[in-house]
Structures are given as C-alpha cells and as structure tokens.
Structure 1
Amino acid sequence: MPHFESFVVLAGMRTGSNLLEAALNALPGVTCHGEAFNPALIGYPKRSALLGMTRAERDADPLALWARIKAAPGLNGCRYFHDHDPRLLAPMLADPACAKIVLTRNPVESYVSLQIARATGQWKLGDARNRKSVRAEFDPAGFEAHLAAVQGFQIHILHGLQTSGQSAFYVDYDDLQDLEVLNGLAAWLGVEGRLAALPDSLVVQNPEPIEAKVGNFAQMSAALARLDRFNLSRTPNFEPRRGPNVPGFLAAGGLLYMPLRPDVPGVAEWLAGLGPVERGFSQKTLRQWKRRHPGHRSFTVLRHPLLRAHLALHAVLTRDDMGHVRDVLRESYRLALGPEALEPFLGWIKANLNGQTSLPVSPLWASQSALMQGLGQFATPDLIAREEDLPRDLGWLAPGAPAFTPLPDPVPALIPTPALQKAAREAYPRDFMQFGFGEYQAA
C-alpha cells in the first residue's frame, strides 16, 4: 500500500518536471496529471478538461478538481509551480497524506533554459532530430526576478513543511538521470513498482555547457559576480516579532496616527486640533473606524536611533515601572546607571536586540524596523515621516490643518559624540540601513 493518498511535484519551469512526470507515470499505479492548476491550461496544452472538469469549472472550485485527483484509482497527483492557482498551495502543504516532491535546479540553468524555450517555442523534446537551437541572452534584471520567485517559493514550501512537522523528497535536475534516485522516490512513496530503465519519451533539450548556450556569457558572469549569493550583506535580526500595538493608535479628522514608542512630543496635540481624538482601539473597532472614514490616511514618525536610546535610558532611570530593569542592569550587567551611561547602555541594547540578555526587548528601545514590521501585521502607514520633517510632512498630509509645532522632550539635552554615534550604529544597524539615518544632529 502507498504511504500517501496523493502527491504533488513542487517545481518550476525548466526544472525537468516533464522528465520527472514521465518517470512517475512509468510506475504502475501512479499517475501525474500534469499542470492541473496552471491558470493558462488544465493539465496539458490543448486539453479542455481533466477528470471530467473543464477549466471554467476548475477555476470556480479548484478544490473539487483536487478531490477528483485524490479519488482517482491508484496514487495520483500533479505538478504545481509558484504561479499556479494560489488557492491550492496551503491545502496541499497542510495535508500530511499528500506527498511533497520538491524538484529544484540551478537557477542560472533554469533561467537560461527558459530563455531558450521562449525563443524557440520548444518546451518538450522527444527526439533530438527535432531540436531547435538558439543562444539565450542573459538579462540581469530578468534573472534577479526569476531568482527571487524561485527562492520565495522554496522558502514558502520549507516554512509550510516545518510548521506542520512534515518532510519532503528532494530531487535535483541532475538526479533525473539517476535510476537509483528515481526508484528511491518510488520506495518513499510506498508503491511496489520500480523502473527498469529511465523514461525514453523525453530527452534533455540543451545539454551543452552554459557558456555555449548564452550569447553574452561575459556580461552574465559579471552580473552574477555582483550578486550576493550567500547574502553576506544581510544584517542579522534576532529581535522577537512584535504586534501592531493597535490600542496605542490615535485618530482624529480622518487621520490615524500609529506611534512608535517613545512618542514624539506635539503630535498628539496637533492631532487634537483636527477634532475629537479617538483612542483605545481594538483591531475590530479600528476596522469600523476605517469604514466610517472613507479616504482616511495614516502616518507614523521615525526618530533617530541615538535619540531613542537616550529617551529609553531616561525612562529606565526615572520611571517607577522600570525599577526591575534598573536592578538587572546594575546587578547582572554592572552598568553604572546615570545620564552619562548612554554609551554602555547602547552596548547593552545591542546585546539585548540580539537575544543575548535576560531581559525582554522593550518597545522603548526596540528597533524601529521591528516596530514597523509589527504595524504591517495590521496595516502599513501611508506616510513614514522623519521627526525633523514633521512641519512639512504633516502639512502635506493634512493641507489646511494647523501648522505642527514641535515640543521638547522632557529629558536632558543629548550632546552627540563620535563614540555615541558609533555605538548607536552598532546597536541599530538595521535601522540605519533600512531608513537611511545619518549622524545625529542636535537641535
């Protein structure tokens, strides 16, 4: 008996999925129904129906066709690409009785093969005598889009398998010429049949080395050299994910303020000049507010990371609810707390944001990148303003409203030094990169 009730080949264009399908269909009792959920066709080109369902019927109820595929005699499945009907991917990934076969190929090879297929119109080859030959032109922007789609699809698959506690059978393009691998797949599926030979109904279309298939190979090599293949420029992020903090939002006059703590003095007062301020939202009541205010606009305000750390330190030093934080910083981390402790406090923030301390990350010193991601779980603001540009930006967002008047923060003045500027960059590298902050300029 098969180990599964169905299967899906999770692949992409020019990865060898036709060859893999031919191998699967050569196994007794196994049927792969082509690209059953390709929006442009149903199963195969020039077919009008699959298992008694037309394309229109499938598009109206794709799960009905998937149910027919699963119910067909034997072990049945299909090929699914990243641009196929998105309504199917979640049910397929969530079903442990559906075997996941993940087919991959070097993305440069698949991109070049795709360019050749588009140029020749030849997507399958049964006999080398009928082969059409052309050299591909490598387009850097086109390849980066292709790579992003491939990687995004693979990450989505991996996440779905991890969160549901499943595994997949991974096959590379080169494995399709390995009879032992294909029979290993049959054993994993739990079917009794085995292949005696590789399928001969299809042949490899472009067996030449890559340099012989690309007309501008030198340009391609230079473009690939500029790609950060191993993502070395990535800034690691170990901060916990945050919620959108909807109860902290303020609304008045059709404007919604989505503050990032610590708040910017004067913004709430300016908002109150537009009308009665509504606050204390839940996600439900905020959706209701949005429906009552067609044409509403939303905004948030970024502050320089060095200033935010300065404000956070002041809160730690003065607020009653921060007593436990003061105790931990003094006793566990030996910080001599005081207004002059900003540089060592920034060093501690760096460790805290990297998950290396015993205290959780407070919104007071969390990175604004993480706070913005939290906002995005509910809605992204129309305007992301910089504190120093608020008079101009709020005038643009609400023409005719009273001019914005900034108010001072109730903290001692911050005197930036080169050491503090450096410590802020090291504590908040993602914010500096993401939002383009420069050196802090005292008002």
Structure 2
Amino acid sequence: MPIPTKFILLSNARSGTSLVMSTLNSHPDICCHGEIFHPKPRFHFREIWSDHHDPADFEGAPLSLARAVLDDPRTAERFAVVGFKMWKAQAPGACKALCRDAALRKIILERKNKLATFSSGMLAKQTGVWNLSGDRKAVAIKAEKLPFNAERFRKYVQTQREVFDFYERHVEGAVLRVSYEELNREAFDGILAFLGVESAELTEGKKKLHSSDILNRFSEDRHPEILRTLDELGHPEWVKEAPAT
C-alpha cells in the first residue's frame, strides 16, 4: 500500500485555516481534517476516520491522536495526502514533537494583519458566526461596532509573534510558508505542488465574512486610538486588508 504524504497546517485562530483546509478537501487525492485538538472535536474529523475512531479514546495523549489520524490505514487506501490543522496553544508538547518530525510536511499559514485577526475573533464571538461555507450565498452579518483596548491589542500582537516564532524555531524538514493575504489560485497551486499532487480545479471552501475595511469594524470614537497604536507598532497598513487576487 502506498504511504500517503502527511502534513500539518500550523497557524492560529482567524487566519484562514478553514478556507485552506476545506478548499484542499475538494481535491480528490487529499484528506484534510480540521482542529483535531479542539475542545469539541466532533465536526473536525473526516468521516473516513471518525466512523471508526473516537477522539475521546486519546484523551490526554494528543501525540497519539495525531499519529492515529495520520497513520490511519483506511485513509491511506483512498488518499495520497492526509493532514490536519492545529495551533500551539491546543497541544504545545505535541506541537513541538510534530514540528520536529522531519518526515512530516509543514505548512505555516499566517495572517499578517493582526488587527484583522484580532477583530475577526471578536466579531465571531459577538455574532456566533465563525465560518460561511463557500457553496452558500453571501449573507449580511449584523454586527455591532467593536470596542478597542490598546493594551489588550498589544498583548495580542505579542502573543501572535511568539506563536509563529515558536513554529519557526522548531520546524524541521519540508516547510511551506503561506500568507493569508496571498491566498489565490497560484498560492493553492503551490500548496498542491508542495504536497506532491497534481494541480486540479479546486472549489473555494469558505467565504470571507467581513469587510476588508478593518478600521471600520470598530467604533468610530476608537479610531484615533487605533491609528495611534498601529503607528507605534509600525503597521499603519493594518487599517485595511487587500483581498488576494
């Protein structure tokens, strides 16, 4: 039996991971699971695995769960590539071990605009809408303008930097770095090539939920503070997020 190419997608919340993994799942040779270390993992596994396994059986043993997902023989019979997504906070020890596994390919996906990820998380909690399937029509999501706390945002940015620094320090073997802001057809072709499968017509798995005018997600009376904070951080460009072309 051929051995599938195995990979993990390393990132953080609200960074486009659902878009990437759901889109890759439209390729006939790829099996992508979601956040296998999510506190409520029920909907994060493809049925080919979850029909025969219970993630609760691996409670307290995240690395064993990862191996069970990546080494599943039923998956190997049907797919040439298998992978899942995770971020450091979900299972730090397992994350370090997986990063150092040189036989495992890693995709590091980062959304450079931290004001976008910061506000996206707040909006998701406020509206209860975390993702919108690519095959659904766009819907108007009613959201209230967000508050802003400069100290909280600075701590958030620092935490984000530490997470991606952790990945860079520990990854070994083949690594592909992808930016959310550059997710287009060419980027997906690059991911397919990295995973060793032929290019194919992919179906976009998720839709963008909110406007690319990031500043306008916040209450207008907080705009001066936001602009000042972004200038101090050296990223005034975070007020907007140009869509990938």
TM superposition score category, shorter chain reference = 0.7 to 0.9
User: Which position in structure 1 is the counterpart of 2:238?
Assistant: none
Where structure 1 has 5 or more consecutive residues not aligned to the other structure, the ranges are 230-443
Matched, 1:122 2:126: no
User: Which position in structure 1 is the counterpart of 2:58?
Assistant: 58
Q: Which of 136, 146, 150 is 1:140 aligned to?
A: 150
Q: Which of 90, 98, 101 is 2:104 aligned to?
A: 98
User: Which position in structure 1 is the counterpart of 2:185?
Assistant: 179
Moved over 4 A (4+): none
User: Which position in structure 1 is the counterpart of 2:31?
Assistant: 31
| Cα deviation, residue 93, structure 1 | 0.8
Whether the aligned pair in 2 keeps the contact of 1:136 and 1:213 (CA below 8 Å) is yes
| Cα deviation, residue 11, structure 1 | 0.9
One-letter code aligned to 1:214: F
User: Which position in structure 2 is the counterpart of 1:196?
Assistant: 201
| Cα deviation, residue 94, structure 1 | 1.2
- Any idea what the Cα deviations from partners look like across 1:399-437, whole Å, max 9, x if unmatched? xxxxxxxxxxxxxxxxxxxxxxxxxxxxxxxxxxxxxxx
Whether the aligned pair in 2 keeps the contact of 1:25 and 1:31 (CA below 8 Å) is yes
Q: What SS does the aligned partner of 1:132 have?
A: coil
Map 1:209-358; keep pairs closer than 5 Å. 209-215=213-219, 216-227=222-233
| Cα deviation, residue 211, structure 1 | 2.2
Change (3 A) 1:19 1:65: same
RMSD of equivalent CA atoms: 2.7
Q: In 1, distance between residues paired with 2:52 and 2:3? A: 27
User: Which position in structure 1 is the counterpart of 2:41?
Assistant: 42
| Cα deviation, residue 53, structure 1 | 3.7
Q: In 1, distance between residues paired with 2:189 and 2:121? A: 28
Q: Which has the larger radius of gyration?
A: 1
Where structure 2 has 5 or more consecutive residues not aligned to the other structure, the ranges are 236-245
Whether the aligned pair in 1 keeps the contact of 2:5 and 2:195 (CA below 8 Å) is no
Q: Which of 161, 164, 167 is 1:157 aligned to?
A: 167
- Any idea what the Cα deviations from partners look like across 1:135-164, whole Å, max 9, x if unmatched? 222221221222122111111111113xx4
Whether the aligned pair in 1 keeps the contact of 2:25 and 2:32 (CA below 8 Å) is yes
| Cα deviation, residue 30, structure 1 | 0.9
Q: In 1, distance between residues paired with 2:159 and 2:29? A: 33
Q: In 1, distance between residues paired with 2:51 and 2:64? A: 11
Q: In 1, distance between residues paired with 2:63 and 2:187? A: 31
Q: In 2, distance between residues paired with 1:33 and 1:125? A: 17
Identity rate of aligned residues, in percent?
23
Change (3 A) 1:88 1:149: same
Count matched residues: 221
- Any idea what the Cα deviations from partners look like across 1:299-333, whole Å, max 9, x if unmatched? xxxxxxxxxxxxxxxxxxxxxxxxxxxxxxxxxxx
Q: In 1, distance between residues paired with 2:102 and 2:16? A: 25
Matched, 1:80 2:86: yes
What is the TM-score normalised by the length of structure 1?
0.46
Q: What SS does the aligned partner of 1:103 have?
A: strand
